[in-house]
Structure 1
């Protein structure tokens, strides 16, 4: 979790980065921006940092070769952290690097803000951080002001909404040898191909293998196993699949730690299905080079996030949706020969 109630904005440099494929250029400022009052820094802090309050996933910078020194952002961040007098120079190099990877035709040009912050907290630890933010989408704002005993209306085009950060990253001055701690915002527009340039090409990130990601990945793997893999090996109704998903979510909400064998016995039960799930999990770990481990501390934040996409709804044509939250033995499936239609019989004691 990122908080900024003690944070301060130290230095900010602003550049413009266009799109190479659209024959747009980049434009670098000569020096950091002078902030002449307290209002602008406070607005900028809200614009840049508030979106990160709900971000839980932490990354590290990396390079595909395995040599972290070849990651441009790691090099420029280290340059600024170790000598703040080189901050503006580092910001110029960051802008040039972003321009270099801005080659997809759907990538929008925009202002690039490179900011040095003091005392931004991540996981309770106040640290210096370098923020890199890009504003791609502009809006028109109306202004109403007193005029000649009444009011006048004016407007401003190509203005920035401080409640809508398009792209941002915070690089914290900790764990340098691992690629620093990094959190990211990416409100992507322009399609999936245009999306990869920020995280994959500009930053080059790998997910930190902490309890949040282990919890999230395990729930995601299990959901894919139930919804996609089980049909290949077993005959199961949709109601039974929903029951398996509900049981897994119940396990993660009630337990403090995950144990693979315990989870398999309590949730899946069937020995053949257990073996299939463990194999499915191993294949994921090998394919994505992301070992999860057979036991870990469960992250409540990750469970809440995954719970939003764990569907317990049985959709029947366009007429009915049945929400299954409890015992699947209280719902029976059958076929009516006279109507030539499937049906579900639901048992209950009272209506709410």
Structure 2
């Protein structure tokens, strides 16, 4: 978790980065920004740091070759952490690097802010951090003010909404040899092809394989197994699939640690399906080069996040939705020959 109750903004430089494919260039400032009052730094702190309060995933900088020294952002930020006098020079290099990877035609141009922060907290540690932020979307604002005994209205175009950060990253001065601790905000725009440039090309990140990531991945793998794989090997109704998903979510909410064999026996039960699930998990690990332990501490935050996408709704044509939260034996599926239609019979004791 990232908090900024004690954080302060030390230095900030602003540059503009265009899109290469559109023939746009970049514009570099010659010196850091001068902040002349206390209001603007506080607004900037809110704009830059507040979106990270709800971010749980922690990443590390990496390079596909395995040589971390080849990661540009790791190189530039390391020089600043070692010698803050190099901040302006490295901020310009960061802007140039962003321009070099902004080659997809759907990537929007915009301002890039490179910021040095003091006392930003991550996982209980107060640390210096370097933030890199990009504003791509601008808005028009109305301003109403008193005028000659009444009111007047004016507007400002191409302004930034401080409650809508488009892209941002915080790189904390800790674990340099592992690629630092890194947290990211990325509001995807411009389509999927353009979306990968921030995390994959500009920053080059790998997610930290902690309890949050392992919990999230295991729930995601199991959901895909139930909704996509089971049909290939077993005949199952949608109600049965929803029951399997509900049982898995119940397991993760009630247990403190995950154990693969225990989970398989309590939730899946069927020996053939258990083998199929374990094979499905192994295939995921090989495809994405991500090892998921057979036992790990369950992250409550990851469970809450995954619970939002776990569906317990049985949709019947456009007429009915049945929400299944408990025993699937209380719902039966059949076929009515006279009406030539499927039906579900639901058992209950009383109406709520």
1:109 is matched with which residue?
Answer: 109
What does 1:92-241 align with in structure 2 at a 5 Å threshold? 92-241=92-241
Q: What is the alpha-carbon distance in structure 1 between the residues aligned to residue 105 and residue 56 of structure 2?
A: 31
1:259 is matched with which residue?
Answer: 259
State which drifts further: 148-157 or 7-16. Answer: 148-157
Q: Could you tell me how far 1:145 is from its partner in structure 2?
A: 1.4
The question of 1:61 aligning with 2:61 is answered yes
Q: Could you tell me how far 1:151 is from its partner in structure 2?
A: 1.5
Q: What is the alpha-carbon distance in structure 1 between the residues aligned to residue 153 and residue 238 of structure 2?
A: 58
What's the secondary structure of 1:185's corresponding residue? Answer: strand
2:49 is matched with which residue?
Answer: 49
Q: What is the alpha-carbon distance in structure 2 between the residues aligned to residue 33 and residue 10 of structure 1?
A: 11
1:337 is matched with which residue?
Answer: 337
What does 1:29-44 align with in structure 2 at a 5 Å threshold? 29-44=29-44
Q: Could you tell me how far 1:192 is from its partner in structure 2?
A: 0.5
What are the Cα deviations for residues 161-209 of structure 1, in whole angstroms up to 9, with x where unaligned?
Answer: 1011010000011111111111111111110011011111000010100
What's the secondary structure of 1:34's corresponding residue? Answer: coil
Q: What is the alpha-carbon distance in structure 1 between the residues aligned to residue 282 and residue 220 of structure 2?
A: 14
Q: What is the alpha-carbon distance in structure 2 between the residues aligned to residue 151 and residue 198 of structure 1?
A: 44
What's the secondary structure of 1:293's corresponding residue? Answer: coil
What are the Cα deviations for residues 133-184 of structure 1, in whole angstroms up to 9, with x where unaligned?
Answer: 0001111111111222221111111111101101000001111111111111
What's the secondary structure of 1:155's corresponding residue? Answer: strand
1:5 is matched with which residue?
Answer: 5
What's the secondary structure of 2:189's corresponding residue? Answer: coil
Unaligned runs of 5+ in 1: none
What's the secondary structure of 1:127's corresponding residue? Answer: strand
Q: CA RMSD in A?
A: 0.6
Q: What is the alpha-carbon distance in structure 2 between the residues aligned to residue 317 and residue 151 of structure 1?
A: 54
Q: What is the alpha-carbon distance in structure 2 between the residues aligned to residue 237 and residue 58 of structure 1?
A: 38
2:275 is matched with which residue?
Answer: 275
Unaligned runs of 5+ in 2: none
1:17 is matched with which residue?
Answer: 17
What are the Cα deviations for residues 5-43 of structure 1, in whole angstroms up to 9, with x where unaligned?
Answer: 000000000000000111111010010001111100000
Q: What is the alpha-carbon distance in structure 2 between the residues aligned to residue 97 and residue 242 of structure 1?
A: 47
2:91 is matched with which residue?
Answer: 91
Relative to the length of structure 2, the TM-score reads 0.99
Q: What is the alpha-carbon distance in structure 1 between the residues aligned to residue 279 and residue 141 of structure 2?
A: 55
1:326 is matched with which residue?
Answer: 326
Q: What is the alpha-carbon distance in structure 2 between the residues aligned to residue 225 and residue 138 of structure 1?
A: 41
What's the secondary structure of 2:322's corresponding residue? Answer: strand
What are the Cα deviations for residues 255-296 of structure 1, in whole angstroms up to 9, with x where unaligned?
Answer: 000000000000000011001100100110011000011000
1:286 is matched with which residue?
Answer: 286
Q: What is the alpha-carbon distance in structure 1 between the residues aligned to residue 229 and residue 37 of structure 2?
A: 59
Q: What is the alpha-carbon distance in structure 1 between the residues aligned to residue 222 and residue 144 of structure 2?
A: 54
Q: What is the alpha-carbon distance in structure 2 between the residues aligned to residue 151 and residue 238 of structure 1?
A: 60
What's the secondary structure of 1:36's corresponding residue? Answer: coil
Q: What is the alpha-carbon distance in structure 1 between the residues aligned to residue 240 and residue 189 of structure 2?
A: 38
Write out the 4+ residue segments of structure 1 that deviate beyond 3 Å after TM superposition.
none
1:81 is matched with which residue?
Answer: 81
Q: What is the alpha-carbon distance in structure 2 between the residues aligned to residue 143 and residue 314 of structure 1?
A: 48
